[in-house]
Structure formats: C-alpha cells, structure tokens
C-alpha cells in the first residue's frame, strides 16, 4: 500500500450545494446524509452503547435498548429489551424484555442474527446481564434456548462453522474472560477461562473472531483481553497467547505469507500480530484510546486498517507496515472521541467509504482512499459505539444505522451531490 500525502485536517466549504473538503491533495466532491427514520425506542438516559444487529439479508434489524437504574424512571420488565424494527420505517415489530432486577446499562449485547439451525428462519443470538446466552426467534421474538454464562456478555456473540462437524456454532465471551462454544441447538461444546490462561483477572470487550489465522486449513477462535490475545483451537484448547492488550480485534490478510494478521487496538497502541505465532509484526504508539473494527483495500494496492482515536481523528494505517496513509480530524473538543470506524459502499459505486461517529453525536462519511470528508450529520445526543451499515431498502448501497445514547436508532441514507 503506497503512503498517501493527503492529511485531511482541512477546510470545509460549500460548493454548488455540496459539502466539499479541501486537502493538500485537492478536492473531494461530497454528498449528503438524510434521515430515513428514527426508531421509537427512547430511554431516559444517554448511555446506550450496544450496536444494532442486522441479519444477512438486511431484513432483520434488532436493537438492544437499556434503561439506567436509580434514575427517576421506574424500571420494569420492558425497560431493557430487544426490539425488532421494520427496515422501511423503523416501526416496532416486537419487543422482548428481561427481568427488571437484571436491567442496567450493559443489559443486552449487540445481537448476532442468522439462520443457525437450518430451518429457513433466522435466529437472534445475544448475551445478557441475566448471565446467559439467549437465542430468540427473529420472526416473533420468542425465546427458544439459553445457556448460562459466568458473567454478563459485552461483545456480540459470533456465529460460524468452526468445527469438523457440519453446522453453525455459537461462540461468545463474557466481560470477565470466560469463552463459551455451543451448538446451534444449545448443546455446550467447551468453555475456556482466560483468567486461568493469563494467570490473572482479564476483561473482554470485543466479539470473538473465527478465522483460520495460522493457515492450517482449520478455523481458530481469536479473543482479545485486557492482558493479551488468545488463539483457541476448534476443540477448545489454547494454541497460543500473545501478551498484547486488545480491546478490539480485526483479522485480515495483510502481507504475502500464508498466515493472517491479528490486528489489535487498545489504549496506547495499535499492533499487528502474526496469526501463526502471535509475534509482533509492527506496533504504533498512540496515546489514549484507539478503536478498530474494519479493514478495506480501496485502491487495490493493499489492505488498510481504519482507526478511531480519542483525539477525534480517524487514521488510515497500512495493515502490512503500520505506516500512516492519511489522517482526518472528524471532531474537536471534549466529546470528540471516535468509536471504531466501519466501511461500506454507501453510494453504490462498488467502492468502500469510511463511516465514523463521535461521542458528540456526529456522523461523518470519509473517502476511503484520501480521508476527505464527504458528508456529515449531527444530532445533539452522544454516540458511544460503531454504526451498523446495511442495505435496508434494496437500492444497492448501504444505509447507516446509528445507535444513539438515548436509546434511539437513526437510519441515514447517503446521496451524492
């Protein structure tokens, strides 16, 4: 991947009604973001921070919403709930609550949605502060199975076929570093305590990643913790660990060797690990919190990793070398922190754009090659987590589902000027 000289800390001008970003490398014609709908899921707080779940056909949209105890609002069995909404207008299809005694900020993870049992209907899989992994029917919201967890989950469960036997498995981790693998029908495969693996208390925030990271033709489960990264075999044995703290993990093929790279981010650093050995390939030091979620190859010259910074910057790094390709200041001030950027084709041109959000409530679409800002939307409510792109209107381009702190989700449509 070639290094780009465009540093898009830029002047913004309006030209012919469009948002244009002026960078060292020239101009980028922008577009606009328009509200399609806002969900009817308000809560009397501004700290909802678990992302929207969307199924593989972009038809099933499920929102986890949570109330905060000890406020002026009474907590009921519906205060913390999963809510399925219609793609066309965001109206509610069903709500499924949980016991009031278990309802608090982290009540429900982002759900994973897929037909896990092959019956032709999708299921909604999430972890809860009931200390359980729970599976619901996507059609009705009816609970169909649950498995106990040691503590509550934080990251989304992962659905993948990673064992020799046919069928989808569920793998999830709880906040205290316990990993569970289960069958689609609720049978327990194995459990791993990463506290024992690392010899001390760990915290786990991101979803497990399932991939063949060491190029041995079998998939592994990769889990990031506050104390390091663990690569777990399909049978539940720990293959190796790497003592690099990892709040977020992305697996990608960034170089020419067979093994994939495990890209991790946490406070103070972004690091690439060799998927076969766990050894460091490169590391960048960045003060404060760093967040990652997606890679892309926008120019065909190599994989780029997109980083959200506590400083309000989005940074594109060459995933093979760690070199900076571009840097854009999305926001400034106390609430400028960026959750993990995501990538999607929002304008239907078959190339990826970078979607960033800030704690101040701003959504910005950036050019993936240059970092130039293409469009912006703002709502005076905090955003604490990444947006979810999905083509919810079948127009060939992704819309942006933004999870705001007040419980609502805003669906945004991008249009080029």
Q: pLDDT truncated to tens, each residue of the chain (417 aa)?
A: 333 333 333 333 332 233 333 332 233 568 999 999 999 999 999 999 999 999 999 999 999 999 998 778 899 999 999 999 999 999 999 999 999 999 999 999 999 999 999 999 999 999 999 999 999 999 999 999 999 999 999 999 999 998 877 689 999 999 999 999 999 999 999 999 999 999 999 999 999 999 999 999 999 999 999 999 999 999 999 999 999 999 999 999 999 999 999 999 999 999 999 999 999 999 999 999 999 999 999 999 999 999 999 999 999 999 999 999 999 999 998 889 999 999 999 999 999 999 999 999 999 999 999 999 999 999 999 999 999 999 999 999 999 999 999 999 999 999 998
The residues facing 170 across adjacent strands are: 159, 182
Distance between CA atoms of residues 177 and 18, nearest Å = 47
In a domain, 182, yes or no: yes
In a domain, 376, yes or no: yes
- Note the pLDDT of residue 28: 56
Cβ-based neighbours of 69, under 8 Å, separated by 6 or more: 75, 103, 104
In a domain, 97, yes or no: yes
In a domain, 202, yes or no: yes
Three-state DSSP class for 102?
Answer: helix
Cβ-based neighbours of 314, under 8 Å, separated by 6 or more: 306, 307, 308, 327, 328, 330, 338, 341, 354, 356, 366, 371
Three-state DSSP class for 399?
Answer: strand
Distance between CA atoms of residues 255 and 38, nearest Å = 42
Whole-prediction pTM value?
Answer: 0.92
Closest residue by Cα to residue 18 from 410, 395, 351, 376: 376
The answer to whether the beta carbons of residues 312 and 331 sit under 8 Å apart is yes
The answer to whether the beta carbons of residues 13 and 22 sit under 8 Å apart is yes
Over the Cα atoms of the chain, what is R_g? Answer: 21
In a domain, 219, yes or no: yes
Closest residue by Cα to residue 112 from 59, 156, 170: 156
CATH of the domain at 136: 2.130.10.10
The residues facing 220 across adjacent strands are: 211
Overall size of the chain counted in residues: 417
Long-range CB pairs of 143-148 (<8 Å, 24+ gap) are 143/96, 145/185, 145/186, 146/186, 147/180, 147/182, 147/186, 147/188
Distance between CA atoms of residues 321 and 244, nearest Å = 18
In a domain, 1, yes or no: no
Domain that holds residue 271: 7-416
Q: What is the DSSP letter of 362?
A: E
Query: Total domain count for the chain?
Result: 1
- Note the pLDDT of residue 335: 86
In a domain, 229, yes or no: yes
Closest residue by Cα to residue 192 from 236, 158, 162, 149: 236
- Note the pLDDT of residue 6: 37
Q: 101 phi and psi, to 5 degrees?
A: -65, -20
Exposure b/e, 292-316, CB count within 10 A at least 16 = b? bbbbbebeeebbbbbbbbbbbbbbb
- Note the pLDDT of residue 15: 28
Q: 157 phi and psi, to 5 degrees?
A: -65, 155
Distance between CA atoms of residues 267 and 290, nearest Å = 6
- The DSSP annotation for 278-339 comes to --EEEEEEESS-EEEEEEE-TTSSS-EEEEEETTSEEEEEETTT--EEEEEE---STT----
């Amino acid at each position: 991947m070639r290094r780009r000289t465009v540093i898009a800390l830029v002047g913004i001008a309006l030209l012919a009604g469009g948002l244009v970003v002026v960078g060292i490398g020239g101009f980028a014609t922008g577009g606009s973001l328009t509200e399609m709908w806002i969900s009817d899921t308000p809560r009397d707080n501004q700290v909802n921070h678990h992302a929207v779940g969307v199924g593989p056909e972009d038809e099933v949209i499920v929102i986890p919403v949570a109330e905060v105890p000890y406020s002026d609002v009474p907590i009921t069995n519906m205060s913390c709930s999963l809510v399925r909404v219609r793609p066309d207008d965001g109206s509610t299809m069903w709500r499924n609550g949980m016991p009031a005694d278990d309802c608090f900020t982290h009540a429900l993870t982002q759900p994973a949605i897929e037909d896990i049992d092959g019956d032709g209907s999708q299921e909604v899989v999430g972890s809860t502060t009931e200390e359980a992994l729970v599976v619901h029917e996507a059609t009705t919201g009816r609970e169909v199975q649950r498995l106990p967890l040691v503590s509550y989950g934080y990251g989304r469960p992962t659905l993948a076929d990673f064992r020799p036997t046919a069928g989808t498995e569920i793998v999830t981790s709880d906040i205290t570093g316990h990993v569970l693998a289960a069958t689609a029908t609720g049978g327990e495969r194995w459990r791993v305590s990463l506290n024992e693996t690392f010899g001390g208390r760990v915290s786990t925030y991101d979803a497990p990643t399932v991939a063949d990271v060491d190029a041995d033709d079998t998939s592994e489960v990769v889990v990031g913790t506050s104390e390091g990264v663990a690569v777990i075999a399909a049978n539940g044995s720990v293959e190796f660990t790497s003592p690099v703290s990892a709040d977020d993990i992305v697996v990608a093929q960034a170089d020419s060797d067979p093994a994939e790279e495990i890209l991790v981010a946490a406070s103070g650093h972004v690091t690439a690990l060799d998927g076969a050995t766990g050894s460091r390939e490169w590391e960048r030091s960045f003060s404060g919190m760093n967040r990652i979620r997606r890679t892309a190859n926008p120019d065909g010259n190599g994989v780029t990793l997109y980083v959200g910074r506590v400083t309000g910057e989005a940074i594109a790094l060459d995933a093979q070398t760690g070199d900076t390709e571009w840097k854009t200041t999305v926001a400034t001030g106390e609430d400028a922190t960026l959750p993990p950027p995501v990538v999607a084709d929002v304008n239907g041109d078959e190339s990826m754009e970078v979607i960033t959000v800030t704690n101040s409530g701003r959504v910005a679409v950036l050019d993936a090659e240059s970092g130039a800002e293409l469009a912006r939307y703002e709502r005076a409510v905090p955003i604490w987590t990444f947006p979810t792109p999905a083509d919810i209107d079948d127009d060939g381009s992704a819309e942006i589902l933004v999870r705001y702190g007040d419980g609502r989700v805003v669906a945004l449509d991008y249009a080029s000027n």
